[in-house]
Amino acid sequence: MDYIKNLDYFLNYISEKDEFTYSHDIYRDLKKMYSEKDLTLTVEKLHLDKYIDFKYAEFQTIDKVNPPYYCRINYHGLRFLERGGYKSERIRTIKAKFISTAKIVMITINAIIILIIAAAGVYVSYESKEKDETIKNKNKQIEILSAKVDSLTTTK
């Protein structure tokens, strides 16, 4: 089993228990699925994520989650299971990353399109100015030729 399945499986297992469950009983029930180390790491992770509560056996004075201890699911763990557990959380995270990446790509494409449109506008403006200059020059030539024609027709 991968770690996501391990976490979800344990959370489902412990959610079926009404009270705190002794670590040796948990290990006895789940020893086919978890080594003692994997079970301890799973409990530590779920406790750090605040989905289970645990307490030490009365004679235990160690700060870490090491057997013997008692654990049970808490309210946050139950709600987390209702939302689909770690598997659904992983899918939501992947979707969120995909959407974020897609937004960045779209923003980049929009920026490139805006730059292309701006460059096309500058080019069209430059072409338009050149044509305006050509028209002005042609109009001047027409005025000169019209003046010559007028002077020829008035002198006759």
CATH of the domain at 42: 1.10.10.10
Do 116 and 129 have their domain in common? yes
Task: For residue 64, name the pLDDT band (cuts at 50, 70, 90).
Answer: low
Q: Which residue has the higher pLDDT, 55 or 111?
A: 111
Task: For residue 83, name the pLDDT band (cuts at 50, 70, 90).
Answer: very high
Q: Which residue has the higher pLDDT, 59 or 16?
A: 16
Structural domain count of the chain: 2
Rounded mean pLDDT of 51-71?
Answer: 71
Residue 58 has pLDDT above 70, yes or no: no
| Domain interval for residue 146 | 87-156
Do 10 and 73 have their domain in common? yes
Tokens 């699911």 belong to residue: 73
Final residue of a domain: which of 27, 59, 83?
Answer: 83
Q: Which residue has the higher pLDDT, 58 or 138?
A: 138
Do 9 and 41 have their domain in common? yes
Name residue 73's beta-bridge partners: 52
Rounded mean pLDDT of 6-27?
Answer: 89
Do 124 and 144 have their domain in common? yes
Do 142 and 101 have their domain in common? yes
